[in-house]
Chain A
Amino acid sequence: MSTQHGMMSVADAAALIKRGYSLCVAGDESALRRLPAGNWIGGTTPYFMGERGGLISRDAVHATVVAEHGGRPRLRFYDAASLPQLCRNAPDHGYSILILPAFSDCHLGFARNAPNYEEMYLKPLVGWIAGGHLDDPSRTPPLVALGSSGEFSATRAVVMDVPLPPEKLARIDIINPFQPGDGACITFADTGFTAGDCRIDGRRGNLAEHLLATDADTRLPLIADYCGAPVNVSIRNIDRAAGLVEFYAPVFPGLTYRQAAPAGDRLAALRAALPPPDADISFACNCILNFLYLGLEGKGGGGLTGPVGFGEIGYQLLNQTLVYLSVGE
């Protein structure tokens, strides 16, 4: 069964919902609020990977029809207190899609604590961080939506748990267009979204000072090696006065980070790593920083469509990474 997904009008998405399909929807708040109640979850973003490349739209939505291989997906909200039960509550056989409002307590708590959630990594979990238009002067808060009740929330997470029959398996893959550079090895003593003091090539140092002294390109993330999986931590800001670096995901102790290599055609690297066009992809998302830094508007394509979020979820929070999930035998 090939998964239906792609950019569509609100009317087309509404028709799918009314016909009883389960959907994961991304779109501007005004578009999502026009959808009828039904078995869908959603999150706000006006940025997308469309069929012909990256695009920005406040009118269209991206919808993934969630195939019901093993039964009707279940939807619910989680607040910051209940979110650690996310994986424990997930189906024993299946996968879950999680959407978090950017900078909510749920988002920050998930970022820091998800690796230690009960049954984390045992059950496939994908998703993205909902955001808004970067040029929006009103700074409308990012929202998630629970389609079954029609509720929107800026503080809670929304989850769709998708059961699968025993013969099917959900598999999560990531595409990281960055490679670690040859620069200093950096380690941190504590988990955090900010860092000042650290060890640089084994010696005590300050990350802000180091990045400024080396004229580092802050569009290049720090990368840690997770047993062969390169995982990015994107740089949000360097506060020179405070001597702190702010990130879009936390750094963790016990890992060695290197800033990404500056050279290379990262768009080509991303395209080269895409799954074949005939692959049955049940979910995909990309990062707003890739959209901006790689100039993806009007470019990209490759058959992989989905929301462009303000963080991605491939079990744990990821940055500047394309995440996709496939269901196979």
Chain B
Amino acid sequence: MIGFHLVASPSGRSVRRIALAAALVVAAAVAAGLAPAAASASCGSDCHGATRWDPATSNNGEIATIDTSSLSVSNACTQTAYSTSWEGTDSAGFTYWIEEGIHVGVHYNGTCGSGDQFYWADNRPSGGYNEHYPGGSVGFNTDYAFKILYDGSSQWEIDRNGSNIGYSTSNPCCSTAMQAGAESHQDTVTESGEAHGLQKYVSGSWSYNWTNAGVYNPEGFFSMSGNPVSDEFYAH
């Protein structure tokens, strides 16, 4: 609270003090309220810190090995965050996609904060968005190779560490976009990890490196380092 203390002083001094106080208030307001894009780096309702190759060479699959060091939210009853790999499944980037990874936050069995869980999801033409929880125990500082591969007939397989965990159907081939890293739905998140061992499946064979990948961190919320083509670190 700004108050005023008028001092019985020689003329002009009280005026200068009031003017200085008002100027400081205005300056503080400017710093706090009028430069949000540069100063706050807020996640908003959704933000990412990832390596992203879009548009990518047309491909039928991708592998991202993700090692999550930390993944937690302040209120697991209403908040979510992800350590994830995405594969676009049409020729227009991420209009449709498949994703798999680790999710923390809202667990829909009436509980909160039951820890992290594996998940996969897809968004398909006429199929909407669907999310699935395949089970298994999540470990931090552990490599998980998340593979998404086209099997033909508009069906993609979703594998984790070489084991199948599901299939996305009625999802067209092929992909021209891939992404791996962090996603959060709120500012209050602790998340860090590494997306490495990045591979693509082109013309019937696997090869390393997402050739022209770059960093996708549009909100500036995550700290990114490494090489987005092969080995990218993210943290908040």
Do chains A and B interact in one complex? no
